[in-house]
């Protein structure tokens, strides 16, 4: 097997954006959380993604967050900045701002709501790649955007030297394998239940939401596989399944559940911004129970 390429690290956390109790950007909290996640096993961080509440943070806040986290973790930790919008021009502007603030790559989601055809999707990504000084990680999440990056489109986009990676939330395992077989794109599992499955067929790693609260456990799944202990990797992935389901498939966005757990763990998080609402006490108690069950086991 040829060595897998992981241009931005292997275990990436889709980091929440901490806010103060009044809802302002918590720069100090973000710096402390980022340093904690890296110390606990995250190779890189994804900032200003959906889990980072990018729909409700301003352009200035996005830039300030990148600069603060860069200062906190130093130059050796890859930072991937979410820059995706439904507007190609605005996305290019955010990409330039992210580069100036210290990002190493840009995470670019498919334009949403307008449901562009594949020709427009391809043009969107190519124009951003042409204009960017940063390598791009494409974000394929049709359940949120309404539009898939079809495998044939992805294979054509892989020819662009500036497009190097994919965060995969397509829920199309066959399509993903087709692209892996045909290109050198570094795939990152964007769905926590697919971390091991995608890694086993050649992915670079993961962009994990649950890594906000169990970074060491997520990193351990991939480390076990790399060590050749596939049975241990499988065990660790399955152990994480109840927490994955509670955080990602129980009717609430991962941002809400991650922030609820982080608060209980006395780590920086703060409130979510409207229209999101915080998790209720019953949900939070269940999350804490699943977290304890996972972290107390060896």
Among residues 62, 113, 115, 139, the one annotated as catalytic is 139
| Max Cα distance, the chain (Å) | 52
When pLDDT is cut at 50, 70 and 90, the band that residue 24 belongs to is: very high
Q: Where are the alpha helices (DSSP H) in the chain?
A: 27-39, 59-73, 88-101, 118-131, 142-145, 151-157, 173-182, 195-200, 215-226, 230-248, 254-264, 281-295
Rounded distance between C-alpha atoms, residue 69 and residue 79, angstroms: 8
Residue 297: is its pLDDT beyond 90? no
Beta bridge partner(s), residue 19: 25
- Region of 142 on the Ramachandran plot (φ > 0 left; ψ -120 to 50 alpha; else beta): alpha
- Does 3.20.20.70 match the CATH number of domain 11-227? yes
Q: Could you tell me the two tokens for 79?
A: 């930072």
What are the residue ranges spanned by the domains of the chain? Answer: 11-227
How many Cβ atoms from other residues are within 10 Å of residue 183's Cβ?
Answer: 18
Q: Is 167 a catalytic residue?
A: yes
Q: Which pTM was predicted?
A: 0.97
Torsion sign (Cα): 126, 127, 131, 137: negative
Residue that is written with structure tokens 């992981």 in the block: 6
pLDDT in tens, 235-285: 999 999 999 999 998 899 999 999 999 999 999 999 999 999 999 999 999
- Residue 1 is predicted with a pLDDT of 42
- Tell me the CA distances in angstroms from 121 to 52, 125, 163, 178, 197, one per residue in order: 24, 6, 14, 19, 27
Among residues 62, 112, 115, 167, the one annotated as catalytic is 167
pLDDT in tens, 26-82: 999 999 999 999 999 999 999 999 999 999 999 999 999 999 999 999 999 999 999
Residue 234: is its pLDDT beyond 90? yes
């Amino acid at each position: 097997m040829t060595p897998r390429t992981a241009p931005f690290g292997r275990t990436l956390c889709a980091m929440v954006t901490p806010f103060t109790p009044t809802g302002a950007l918590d720069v100090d909290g973000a710096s402390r959380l980022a340093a904690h996640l890296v110390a606990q096993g995250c190779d890189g961080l994804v900032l200003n993604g959906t889990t980072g509440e990018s729909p409700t943070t301003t352009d200035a806040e996005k830039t300030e967050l990148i600069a603060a986290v860069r200062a906190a973790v130093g130059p050796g930790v890859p930072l991937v900045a979410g820059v995706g919008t439904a507007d190609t021009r605005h996305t290019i502007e955010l990409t330039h701002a992210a580069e100036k603030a210290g990002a190493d790559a840009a995470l670019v989601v498919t334009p949403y709501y307008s449901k562009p055809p594949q020709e427009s999707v391809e043009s969107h990504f190519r124009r951003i790649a042409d204009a960017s000084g940063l390598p791009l990680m494409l974000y394929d999440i049709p359940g949120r955007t309404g539009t898939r990056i079809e495998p044939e489109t992805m294979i054509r986009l892989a020819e662009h030297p500036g497009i190097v990676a994919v965060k995969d939330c397509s829920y199309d395992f066959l399509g993903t394998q087709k692209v892996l077989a045909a290109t050198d794109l570094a795939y990152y599992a964007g769905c926590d239940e697919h971390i091991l499955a995608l890694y086993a067929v050649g992915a670079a790693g993961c962009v994990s939401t649950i890594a906000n609260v169990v970074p060491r456990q997520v990193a351990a799944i991939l480390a076990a596989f790399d060590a050749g202990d596939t049975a241990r990797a499988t065990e660790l992935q399955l152990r994480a399944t109840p927490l994955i389901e509670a955080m990602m498939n129980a009717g609430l966005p991962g941002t809400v559940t991650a922030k609820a757990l982080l608060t209980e763990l006395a780590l920086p998080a703060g409130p979510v911004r409207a229209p999101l609402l915080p998790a209720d006490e019953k949900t939070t108690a269940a999350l804490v129970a699943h977290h304890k069950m996972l972290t107390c086991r060896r």
